[in-house]
Amino acid sequence: MDQTSIDAVRNSKIVPQLHLIGGRHVAASDGGEMDILSPLTGQLLTKAARGTTEDMEAAIASARVAFEDKRWAGQPPAARKKVMLKWADLIDANALELAVLGVRDNGTEISMALKAEPGSAAATIRYYAEALDKIYGEIAPTSDDILGMIHKEPVGVVGAIIPWNFPLMIGAWKLGPALAMGNSVVLKPSETASLSLMRMAELALEAGLPEGVLNAVTGEGAVVGEALALSMDVDVLVFTGSGTTGRRLLEYAARSNMKRVYLELGGKSPNIVFADAPKLDEAVKVAAGGIFRNAGQVCVAGSRLLVEASIHDDFVAELIKVTEAMKVGDPLKLDTNIGAINSLAQLDRNLEFVQTALAEGGNLMTGGKRTLEETGGYFMQPTIFTDVTPDATLAQKEVFGPVLGITPFHSDEEAVRIANSTIYGLAGAVWTSNLSRAHRMVRDVRTGVMHVNTYGGADGTVPLGGVGQSGNGSDKSLHAIDKYINLKTAWIKL
């Protein structure tokens, strides 16, 4: 994609967003609207329906009717596959529109967004479309006069609450397997990044998804998100976001119908660099990208850098050079390395972490301030702290911004101890030429994903899930399908 193509669509008018309920676009029941601000300029982009409890209940009812009459679940697998493959093709065909719309809404740099958003979403939908007719039931090993069968059935209505950092990619991680298995879905996009996800939902209807099978309601989490989680008619709830909200969703499930709840709650992922790393210069560049891409607004961001003491100073010096060469700027420019912070509230939170790190004795090596204020947008310098102790706030709390804390270590055992010293366990990495050490680190660091001599890039063939307070269940891969099916036993006497 070239810059001319991007510039041609970057200022296109965005119509006010309405809910998608029962295949129709509808306004909020009370006429309420939310302002959608651009993180690039701080100015109004458009408005979106401010959903009410009644709106969410209508969407859930629509999904329930669609599931019960089997307009989707009752279709042969080949028919569902055809629709989903067409949907993926439409996402590809509208990739530029979707990517630019998303960048204007959440601030991700376009060079990343093109691949990570529509590109990833289309690939995910296509993956589950191809998988859906290869999910078989089972025959149990029983006695000669018994036939034991295990059926795999759709669960019913799935509620999906999607975050603002990668709405298309993460949305597809939920939608792909849920719809492939024949469920109906109610989407609740983020208040601060709903535009591209709502457009992707429209494309599903264009592809032939029956009305009511996919519904989407925009609005505040405290209203429509709560209504979704408390509903007695939602069978499974999936969520990516903060631990605080995740706990609340578990409480709501207990207060309602004890629906299954699957959570991906972020992390404080350790990126561990040993002196024998095969290519230290590459480790430096990847470490910078692992925390500063998308302005640090990545669940698996390598926000804790653990460096073996013997190379610490030299490694940090090179990392500062690479970081200071990264361009913060207009995320719709292809040469921008670091885009905007999603919202002013998130930017303020990031800057508070900087002040806390300074107060706790962290050594600010570069960055630490807001930048490009003249644009009106929400931009922050990539920030590096050294002298970050394992118990420091910066080492324990998820910032979700472009702030890196660096801690030295002296032995394998110390590296593991520091890596495992948080409540989280989502991702991590180790850089080493020692095969035995690599395997030990994969085994001993408590995390859902462990990279070796790289960071990021794991595709849809492998699961993403956390341990500890990073959540439960897995997105991606065939394992994600388990969240969206019920196992039913048939015990038949012959």
Distances (CA, A) of 168 to 25, 112, 357, 409: 20, 13, 33, 38
Q: How many CA atoms lie within 13 A of 414 on its CB side?
A: 13
Which residue is it, tokens 């651009």? 38
In angstroms, rounded to a whole number, what is the distance separating the alpha carbons of residues 68 and 363? 60
Tokens of 481: 């399908």
Mode of pairing for the β-strands spanning 427-431 and 270-273: parallel
Query: Which residues 6+ apart lie within 8 Å of 399 measured at CB?
Result: 296, 303, 349, 350, 353
Task: Give the strand pairing for 363-366 and 383-386.
Answer: antiparallel
CA distance 302 to 315: 16
**Contact indicator for 213, 63 with CB cutoff of 8 Å:** yes
Residue pair 148/137 in contact by the 8 Å Cβ criterion: no
Within 8 A by CB and 6+ apart from 79, the residues are none
> Token match 């922050």: residue?
380
Q: Which two tokens stand for residue 476?
A: 């991606």
Tell me how crowded residue 216 is: count the other CB atoms within 10 A of its CB. 27
User: Biggest alpha carbon distance in the chain?
Assistant: 79
Which distant-in-sequence residues (6+ apart) come within 8 Å of 230 by Cβ?
Answer: 252, 255, 256
The helix/strand/coil state of 434 is coil
Instruction: Classify residue 372 as exposed, middle or buried by CB count within 10 Å of its CB (0-12, 13-18, 19+).
Output: middle
Which residue, among 302, 285, 87, has the nearest Cα to 175 in the 3D structure?
87
Q: Which of 117, 264, 318, 398 is catalytic?
A: 264
**Where would I find the H helices in 37-93?**
53-68, 77-93
Element holding 252 (H helix, E strand): helix 243-255
445 three-class SS = coil
Q: What angle do CA 92, 94, 95 make, to 5 degrees?
A: 60
Is the Cβ–Cβ distance between 394 and 357 less than 8 Å? yes
264 part of the active site = yes
Q: Which residues are catalytic?
A: 264
